[in-house]
A and B are shown apart, each in its own frame.
Chain A
Amino acid sequence: MNPPPLPPGLVAFVKRDCETCKLVDPLLGRLGADEPLTVFTQDDLAFPESLTAIDDLQLEMSWHHGIETVPTLIRVGESGIEEERIVGWSRDQWQAFTGNMELGMTLPEFRPGCGSLSVDPSRSDELNARMGGSGLSTRRVDFAELEDDFEAMYDRGWSDGLPLIPPTEARVMRMLDGTTRAADDVVANVAPDLVDVTVEKIAVNAVMAGCKPEYLPVVIAGIEAICTDEFNIHGLLATTMSVGPVFVVNGPIRNQLEMNSGINVFGQGNRANLTIGRAIQLVVRNVGGGRPGGVDRSTQGNPGKLGLAFPEDEEGTPWISLAEERGFDAGTNAITAFCVEGPRLIVDQLSRTPESLTNSIAQGLVATLSPRMVAGIDALLVLSPEHMARYVDAGWDRARFRSELEERLMVNSDDIIRGTGGIDEGLPAGLEGMQLPKFRPGGLHITHAGGPAGLFSSVFAGWVSGPAGSVPVTKPITP
């Protein structure tokens, strides 16, 4: 869009809410007597008082001509081309600029200008969207005058059941400021509709979810993680098992985003924990087309499917982090996607030795999904701080804990053959006499989070795990 031209001669931009503009008000009246002068006012048509100003209350001229400070004085040539500009009040500058060496002799030598309303942070997004042409390619949807914005989004099927923030152009542009990636950059191909999703579409859904712009890189990395053949979001949606994606965040970004790894870590109360996961799930719904009752056939679902991302409490343990165990350097910002059910508690309030607690946790883990099911399962164990302390005090590191735990996760197949214990579920006959691991080799994932008090840990059990189903995927979070 070509900017509207400025008239030849002197042009000034001012606002009443600026002491420096008020200071130069009488000078403007005098300048206007000597040569053509056009003054644009940003906030009050009755200002300046020394002459009649042109209405720029909508800030169109200010925005198009890049006014950052008021007063700004511009000299425009006969052809309408800007030749020179000065900002604020400097007696020397104004005198040289106008050729009037008597100008403002009674005024102070120097006063800085004030911020132009056209770059006011509270208005710039709206102005950029209105005037700049946002460059965003997403289809625009106009709600009717009589539609309530929030009801209109429900009516169009965009919601997961909770209210959404209307994704206006200004909000989406602000969201895109959260990443250095181009809006039209394709991030992934989203199942089940197999649609390429751009940074821009993710930003639209992130706005709706309630994310802040700085969350966007985490959301993008989460989308990259789930839209892989290994993670298999399509199968995860389509299965009748009540699993969904749950995300663990590692690295300094956890604290920069003020994510909660402490009290009520899986619950309500933290914007980043809840909205990052929600944005990812909204992308699956709105871009991928995976809706409950459509391709999502989950028998019972789980509340985490609204969206759950939580950070590992890296500071609360000397152990290496989940991301480090998965091959990333310490300090790397990363997000790991797990395909799991909701969290279930593992209660042990009496164990004081690491051996007793490990025995106890192992029994809890064997019971996940069904105590009659072994192998081919993954789980995400989340040790609480008080349980973690048993191991740290005893000098166990992550590798020791894992190996001790895995030794205790061997199940005697004789106990779970179909029909034993009066239960038809179980292993088929013929597999008697074996010691079988509860989890897929490498399928037990361990992290650390929770409030400082409480002898409770949690486990999120997985779905069909491994290459035949879903494998956890970690992606680095990049700006």
Chain B
Amino acid sequence: MTTVLDPTNEATPATIERSMRPESLAGLTVGLLDISKPRGDVFLDRVEERLSALGSTVKRYKKPTFTKPAPVDLRHLIATECDAVIEALAD
């Protein structure tokens, strides 16, 4: 029998429960996160129109660059200010 050393990070995947899905977006604050890809704003502008028509309050956010994860502070801000978030991947 061969014994080797584990080359992986030996992590055990953590299970995190998803937030409850809202019945409706009416009256809720919805964050729109632009990841700073070209034309992401085109997509999010349209989404904002539709959400506003549904009665949602829309807040807009933007990552400094699409090449890096959103800064922790930005994620925290969205989590504290919004009931739901939509992230735009676009090109």
Contact = CB atoms under 8 A, between A and B. Distances in A.
Contact of A201 (B1, B7, B64, B69): B7
Interface stretch (B8-16, B26-34, B45-53, B54-62): B8-16
Contacts of A358: none
A389 to B, nearest CB: 39
A172 B5 contact: yes
A468 B6 contact: no
A198 to B, nearest CB: 10
Given A193-B11, A195-B11, A140 B6 contact: yes
B1 A468 contact: no
Contact of B67 (A141, A172, A197, A239): A239
Contacts of B11: 193, 195, 289
B13 to A, nearest CB: 10
A9 interface: no
A141 B68 contact: no
Given A235-B68, A469-B67, A169 B3 contact: yes
A167 B7 contact: yes
Given A143-B1, A145-B1, A195-B11, A138 B6 contact: yes
Interface of chain A, helix or strand or loop or mixed?
mixed
Of B6, B11, B64, most buried by chain A (CB within 10 Å of CB) is B6
A287 B9 contact: yes
Interface size class of A (residues with CB under 8 A): 35 or more
A158 B8 contact: yes
Given A195-B11, A282-B7, A287-B7, A166 B2 contact: yes
B4 A286 contact: no
Nearest to A172: B5
Nearest to B6: A139
A168 B5 contact: yes
B84 to A, nearest CB: 24
A38 to B, nearest CB: 33
Of B5, B64, B65, B68, most buried by chain A (CB within 10 Å of CB) is B5
A167 B68 contact: no
Contacts of A289: 9, 11
Given A139-B10, A193-B11, A235 B67 contact: yes
Nearest to A147: B2
Interface string A260-287: 0000000000000000000000100011
B1 A142 contact: yes
Given A143-B2, A144-B1, A168-B2, A205 B7 contact: yes
A128 B6 CA distance: 19
Contacts of B7: 158, 167, 201, 204-205, 208, 282, 286-287
Nearest to B10: A139
A136 interface: yes
B80 to A, nearest CB: 22
A417 interface: no
Nearest to B67: A235
Interface of B: 1-11, 64-65, 67-69
Interface of A: 136, 138-145, 149, 152-153, 158, 166-169, 172, 190, 193, 195, 197, 201, 204-205, 208, 229, 232, 234-235, 238-239, 282, 286-289, 464, 467-470
16 contacts: A140-B4, A143-B3, A166-B2, A166-B4, A167-B4, A168-B4, A169-B3, A172-B5, A229-B68, A232-B67, A232-B68, A235-B65, A238-B67, A239-B67, A288-B9, A470-B67
Given A139-B5, A190-B9, 19 more contacts: A141-B3, A142-B3, A143-B2, A143-B3, A158-B7, A158-B8, A168-B3, A195-B9, A201-B7, A204-B6, A234-B68, A235-B65, A238-B67, A286-B9, A287-B7, A287-B9, A288-B9, A289-B9, A469-B67
